Structure 1
Amino acid sequence: MRGKTMKKTGKTTLGFLCASLLTFSSASAETVLRYAGTLPVTHHLSEAQKTFAALVAEKTNGELKIEVYPAGQLYKAHDIPTAVVTGAVDIGFNLTNVWTRDAVSDINDIPFLYRDANHAEQAWAPDGQLFDLYTKTLAARQMKPLGVMFFGSLFDISNNDKPLVKPEDFAGMKIRAYGALSSEAVRALGGSPTTMDPGEMYLGLQNGTIDGAITGLTSIDTRKLWEAGSHATIAQAAFGVFAVNMNLAKFNGLTENQQTALMESAREVFQTTADESARQDEQSLAFLQENIQVVVLDDEQKAAWAKILAPVVEGWQSRASDDEAAVIEWIRGL
């Protein structure tokens, strides 16, 4: 009788161990990736973060779970690249110029390179020369570009003094810039550039730390800069493109199916944000025109700005590699 009891107990123990191992295996099958962003929760790119996470979960049957942290909940804009490289966060998005000092990262800030939003979309097609070069460049920096998302019109200016139309209007004005080329552009226009995190623009305008801020149409709207600045100049000298970059080692450690799911999901989000950014720009422009004084540069005014900003373009070309220069010619020929 005792032997039968021990045998039964042994089977029970074995069954418990098997069940525990199965439970552990099931729990460990899910991989969690943290995805950091900086734009307001209502911004269409913050919504795109959620869309991306949902697509990845669907394509991997829940194997990959993306935890989304918008609105600078984890890191400020300029801290995200370091966080991704060191593995403090797995994925982040930011304007391409924030990620590296390579000339290719500044391409979107070359004044009036893109004729319009559609031209920028063509240039950043996932199978195009620009994204290919950007991917190779970021790999050397231990990052993996999954894709890009479209912010929309950029190099638009919110200010609290007067309309900014002619270069002489910028004289003596301290203006927030968002990168190297935008800073050079402010200097060329006669202003004084200052670096400031996007989340600090509102208070900067409100307390007079800055006279104006270069940002985008949707940012002037969703960050409520129109409350602090009674004027806006819509120049569309650039179009904001946010790179979605992942820690390279983390990406390489995933299965091939998981990697494919990430890239496919990013491709889908690329198209939805391209479409949505145009709609959001139109909506924000209409809103701003109802609430503050807005100047939208016409073709003649843009040409005058482009002439003044020519040295900025020449400065970029002087430090560009042969591959980067070739990509510019490819973009212009699209």
Structure 2
Amino acid sequence: MQINMFFKLKIFVVIFNVIFLSTSFSQSLKYAGTLPINHHLSESQKLFAEKVFEKTGGKLKIEIFPAGQLYKAHEIPSAVATGAVDIGFNLTTVWTKDIISEINDVPFLMVNANQVGKAWDKDERLFKYYSKVMESRQMKTLGVILFGSFFDISSNKKIVNPEDFSGKKIRTSSAISSESIRALGGSPVTLDPAEMYLGLQSGTIDAAITGVTSIDQRKLWENSKYTTIAGSAFGVFAVNMNLQTFNKLSKNNQEALLQAATEVQQWSIDRSIKEDNKSTEFLKTKVEVITLNSDQRQKWTTKLVPVVNNWLSKASAEEKKIVSWIESLK
């Protein structure tokens, strides 16, 4: 199965890139991704490349490399910042350790795609603030892509209430998600997304925190019996580009990149809803799927209050205002 997927990936990339190589162009940029080729975030790479090609009349070509072909998730930030690759996407929490990068993982702040779409609108305060911080890290934020439901759990034993976390080794993706697992009673383990499958299979971890689309397409259900949908966080991937490389482009090419990213960002709002629903229905045919009810959510909320308060204690006055504004969008 893994060999078959490997060849599918190679065919996907070769066919897509050859189509664009057949037309003359003046410049090419490499775009690294990490999700499986059938995931809508990998599809977003292809869509972005097509839009840039169209808007520049073929003068700027984006070569896409999905499914961790070039770099693992944790390697992409340094690769983009140093110019080893031109463009990459990643969860905001993975890009940098800045407080604003953790905002999507603040428990029960971001709760659905429509709210998140409004919060990350490129004309609004969150995107502008985040972009400014990324520029200080030598990266240009072209846009964001909505991944979908996050902090969902793939496990062999049912994990619903806080007491169910006790003694469990659980894969997390960020500092704040690790803090949340500790607050709920579990033991966080850091693993690259590509390592979750083997981690569950070997028993290195008892459960993995990710999104339902990832549980589906990374086939975590093959090594699990339960999926818990918490609704406590929402995955947002920032599309960042090396700042020096961006600044060297012509104004027309810069504008094409930004416009294409905006269009893909808007596309991802409805698409994330569709894919979450599709994956949830699929998982119901493979494992027991539990969606937290109001009483269970309240238990989680109570346990996670210290996590929220700790994040707020480190946030600037502007970041606290952004949180209040996001809460008003619910």
Q: How does 1:146-157 map to 2 (within 5 A)?
A: 146-157=142-153
Q: How far is 1:36 from its partner?
A: 0.1
The residue aligned with 2:179 is: 184
Spell out, residue by residue over 1:273-332, the C-alpha distance to the aligned partner (whole angstroms, 9 max, x if none): 111110010011011111111111112211211111011101111111122111111111
The residue aligned with 1:231 is: 226
Q: How far is 1:115 from its partner?
A: 3.3
The residue aligned with 1:254 is: 249
Spell out, residue by residue over 1:196-250, the C-alpha distance to the aligned partner (whole angstroms, 9 max, x if none): 0000000000010000000000000000000001111110211100000000000
The residue aligned with 1:11 is: none
Give the number of aligned pairs. 307
Give the secondary structure class of the aligned counterpart of 2:312: helix
Give the secondary structure class of the aligned counterpart of 1:72: coil
The residue type paired with residue 318 of structure 2 is D
The residue aligned with 2:192 is: 197
The residue aligned with 2:68 is: 72
What is the rounded CA distance, in whole Å, between the counterparts of 1:142 and 1:116 in structure 2?
Answer: 31
What is the rounded CA distance, in whole Å, between the counterparts of 1:234 and 1:333 in structure 2?
Answer: 23
What is the rounded CA distance, in whole Å, between the counterparts of 2:167 and 2:116 in structure 1?
Answer: 32
The residue aligned with 1:17 is: none
RMSD: 1.1
Spell out, residue by residue over 1:115-159, the C-alpha distance to the aligned partner (whole angstroms, 9 max, x if none): 322111110111111000001000000000000001000000001
What is the rounded CA distance, in whole Å, between the counterparts of 2:265 and 2:281 in structure 1?
Answer: 25
The residue aligned with 1:206 is: 201
Given the two structures, how large is their TM-score scaled by the length of structure 2? 0.92
Instruction: Say which of 90, 95, 98 aligns to 1:99.
Output: 95
Q: How far is 1:49 from its partner?
A: 0.1
Preserved CA contact (<8 Å) 2:143 2:261? yes
Structure 1 residue 31 corresponds to structure 2 residue 27 = yes
Q: How far is 1:264 from its partner?
A: 0.5
Identity level (%): 58
Structure 1 residue 295 corresponds to structure 2 residue 282 = no
What is the rounded CA distance, in whole Å, between the counterparts of 1:40 and 1:116 in structure 2?
Answer: 23
The residue type paired with residue 324 of structure 1 is E
What is the rounded CA distance, in whole Å, between the counterparts of 2:71 and 2:34 in structure 1?
Answer: 7
Q: How far is 1:333 from its partner?
A: 1.8
What is the rounded CA distance, in whole Å, between the counterparts of 2:316 and 2:74 in structure 1?
Answer: 25
The residue aligned with 1:20 is: none
| Mean CA deviation greater in 111-120 or 305-314 | 111-120
What is the rounded CA distance, in whole Å, between the counterparts of 1:95 and 1:127 in structure 2?
Answer: 20
Give the secondary structure class of the aligned counterpart of 1:261: helix
Q: How far is 1:165 from its partner?
A: 0.9
Give the secondary structure class of the aligned counterpart of 1:290: coil
What is the rounded CA distance, in whole Å, between the counterparts of 1:52 and 1:84 in structure 2?
Answer: 17
Spell out, residue by residue over 1:54-95, the C-alpha distance to the aligned partner (whole angstroms, 9 max, x if none): 000000001110000000000000000000011000000000
Give unpaired runs (5+ residues) of structure 2.
1-22
- Structure 1 or 2, whichever has the larger Rg, is 1
Give unpaired runs (5+ residues) of structure 1.
1-25
The residue type paired with residue 263 of structure 1 is L
Instruction: Say which of 307, 314, 326 aligns to 2:309.
Output: 314
Given the two structures, how large is their TM-score scaled by the length of structure 1? 0.90
